[in-house]
A and B are shown apart, each in its own frame.
Chain A
Amino acid sequence: MTPHPTAPLLSVDDLVVQYHRPGAPPTRAVAGVSLQVRAGEVVGLVGESGCGKSTLARAVCGLTAPAEGRITYAGTPVRPLRVRRRAPALTGVQMVFQDPYGSLNPRRRVGAQLSDGIRTAAERGEAPDGTSPEDLLTRVGLPASAAERYPQEFSGGQRQRIAIARALAARPRLLVGDEPISALDASAQLQVATLMRSLAVESGAGLLFISHDLSVVRLIADRIAVMYLGRIVETGPTAEVWDEPRHPYTRALLAAVPRPDGAGVLPAELPGDVPDPADPPSGCRFHPRCPQVFDGCDREEPQLIAGGVACRLYTA
Chain B
Amino acid sequence: MTTATVLEISGLTLDLGGRRILGGVDLAVRPGQVHGLAGESGSGKTMTGLAALGLLPPGARTGGRIELEGTDLLTLPPRQLAALRGRSVSMVFQDPSTSLHPMLSIGHQLTDHLRHHLKLDRKTAKERAAALLTQVRIPNPREALVRYPHQFSGGMRQRIAIAIALACEPKVLIADEPTTALDVTVQAGVLRLLRGLCDDLGLAVLLVTHDLGVMSAIADQVSVMRHGLVVETGPRGRVLTDPQHEYTRTLLDSLPGRSTV
A residues lining the B interface (CB < 8 Å): 48-49, 185-187, 190, 212, 214-216, 218-219, 252-253, 256-271, 273-274
Contact = CB atoms under 8 A, between A and B. Distances in A.
Interface residues of B, number: 39
Nearest to B257: A215
Contacts of B254: 187, 190
Nearest to A190: B256
A274 to B, nearest CB: 7
20 contacts: A187-B40, A190-B254, A190-B255, A215-B255, A219-B257, A253-B184, A253-B185, A258-B213, A259-B216, A260-B212, A260-B213, A262-B216, A262-B237, A264-B218, A264-B236, A264-B237, A269-B188, A269-B192, A270-B188, A273-B155
Contact of B215 (A252, A253, A260, A268): A260
A213 to B, nearest CB: 8
Interface string B203-230: 0000000111111111100000000000
B140 interface: no
Nearest to A271: B189
Given A214-B184, A253-B184, A262 B236 contact: yes
B237 A218 contact: no
B218 A266 contact: yes
Contacts of A212: 183-184
B193 to A, nearest CB: 9
Interface in B154-207: 154-156, 183-189, 191-192, 195
Given A259-B213, A262-B216, A269 B241 contact: no
Contacts of B156: 273
Contacts of A252: 185
Contact of B153 (A185, A264, A273): A273
Contacts of A214: 184
A227 B235 CA distance: 38
A266 B188 contact: yes
Main secondary structure of the interface of A (DSSP, over half): loop
B260 to A, nearest CB: 7
B256 A218 contact: yes
Contacts of B217: 258-259, 264-267
Nearest to B184: A256
A256 B185 CA distance: 5
Interface in B221-261: 236-241, 252, 254-258, 260
B75 interface: no
A258 to B, nearest CB: 4
Given A212-B183, A256-B184, 15 more contacts: A187-B41, A190-B254, A215-B257, A218-B257, A256-B185, A256-B188, A257-B184, A258-B191, A260-B212, A261-B241, A262-B216, A262-B236, A264-B219, A264-B237, A265-B217
What are the nearest 10 A-B pairs in CB distance? A262-B240, A258-B213, A260-B212, A186-B210, A258-B217, A267-B188, A215-B256, A270-B185, A256-B184, A48-B183
A266 B191 contact: yes
Contacts of B213: 215, 257-260
B200 to A, nearest CB: 15
Nearest to A47: B183
Contacts of B155: 273
A269 B189 contact: yes
Nearest to B153: A273
Contacts of B239: 262
Contacts of B258: 260
A264 B40 contact: no
Contacts of A264: 216-219, 236-237
Nearest to B194: A266
Contacts of B41: 185-187
Name which of A186, A215, A270, A273 has the most chain B CB atoms within 10 A of its CB.
A186
B218 A260 contact: no
Contacts of B40: 185-187
A49 B210 CA distance: 21
Contacts of B186: 48, 273
A258 B216 contact: yes
Nearest to A186: B210
Contacts of A261: 216, 240-241
Contacts of A270: 185, 188-189
A202 B244 CA distance: 38
Nearest to B211: A186
Contacts of B256: 190, 215-216, 218-219
A241 to B, nearest CB: 15
Interface in B110-128: none
B94 to A, nearest CB: 13
A258 B185 contact: no
A161 B216 CA distance: 30
B109 to A, nearest CB: 21
A268 B188 contact: yes
